[in-house]
Amino acid sequence: MIIPAIDLINGQVVRLYQGDYNQKTEFKLSPLQQLKSYQDQGAALLHIVDLDGAKDPAKRQITLIKELVAGLDAPVQVGGGIRSIEQVQELLDIGVKQVVIGSLAVKQPDLVQQWFGQFGADKIVLALDVNINDKGEKNVAVSGWTSDSGVSIETVLANFIPLGLKTVLVTDISRDGTLEGSNTDLYRELAREYPNITWQASGGIATLDDVADVRDSGANGIIIGKALLIENFNVQEAITCWPNA
């Protein structure tokens, strides 16, 4: 499945390089019109990241996100700055299909486990951003990628699989925003080891060949941001390469 994405800072569509807020590219685009374009080209799911919220939960762009969700027909998953059960409920109440939880699943797994019980596993996507070291260990980064948690992706998964974990978005940080291709070996390994999880791949996509490589890796979906914004290809072309299922 093709999942077009936009990242937002202060209401503007942006892209970061390897998660670095100091390496930011702004796009003079209307967030709603951009998402509508993706929807009209056939996207069956859209992805929004509130980068203000991710950096400072007090600055979550909830008003804008509410407007975006209300203006779209396609389902939306949203992440960034979610720290409480009230914030999860707020997003679901405004029509968000799935809430994306990142650092908190590593820092406070007991809290996020409670949310699985409260809302159901189908409403929560875990977003695990990994640094892969020379030994091949996949440690999850937290706090907007500014620090290594020292916790492996396998440990995080073990905390949530018993609760019915369904969907996990995995980004190899070294590939994000680089347009250097995706880490297909990573997704191939995860799909093989955890076949019951729906894997969303993210990071490094530049060409339709990259899309095809991820499709063939065993991942179930692919988040595409920068390549669409700079018009390397469009959503319709990507769906032709990897039809929605």
Q: What is the DSSP string of 88-148?
A: HHHHHHTT-SEEEE-HHHHH-HHHHHHHHHHH-GGGEEEEEEEEE-TT--EEEEETTTTEE
Encode pLDDT of 224-244 as tens digits: 999 999 999 999 999 999 998
In one-letter notation, the amino acid at residue 94 is I
pLDDT (0 to 100) of residue 95: 98
Q: What is the 3-state secondary structure (H, E, C) of 14-73?
A: EEEECCEEEEEEEECCCHHHHHHHHHHCCCCCEEEEEHHHHHCHHHCCHHHHHHHHHCCC
Mean pLDDT of 181-193: 92
The domains found in the chain, sorted by start residue, are: 2-241 (3.20.20.70)
pLDDT at 204: 86
Average pLDDT for the chain: 91
Bridge-based pairing of strands 46-50 and 20-27 is unpaired
Separation between Cα atoms, residue 245 and residue 231, nearest integer Å: 24
For residue 11, give the amino acid letter.
G
pLDDT (tens digit, 9 = 90+) per residue, 79-119? 998 999 999 999 999 999 999 999 899 999 999 999 999 99
Comparison of pLDDT for 145 and 92, the residue scoring more: 92
Q: Provide, rounded to the nearest whole percent, the portion of the chain with pLDDT above 70.
A: 93
What token pair was written down for 225? 């941001």
Residue 147 has pLDDT above 60, yes or no: no
Instruction: DSSP letter for 180, please.
Output: S
Nearest to 12 by CA among 61, 80, 76: 61
Token pair 């400072």 is at which residue? 56
pLDDT at 145 over 80: no
pLDDT at 143 over 90: no
Q: Is residue 177 within 8 Å of 16, Cβ to Cβ?
A: yes
Q: In angstroms, rounded to a whole number, what is the distance separating the alpha carbons of residues 137 and 116?
A: 27
Tell me which H or E stretch contains 237: helix 235-241
Burial of 171 (0-12, 13-18, 19+ CB in 10 A): buried
* Start-to-end C-alpha separation, the chain: 6
HSE on the CB side for 232, CA within 13 Å? 17
- Enumerate the active-site residues: 7, 129
pLDDT, mean of residues 74-82: 94
Query: Which uninterrupted H or E stretch holds 195?
Result: none
Determine the pLDDT at residue 219.
Answer: 97
Q: What is the predicted pLDDT for the residue at 237?
A: 98
CA-wise closest residue to 128 among 159, 169, 68 = 169
* pTM for the model: 0.92
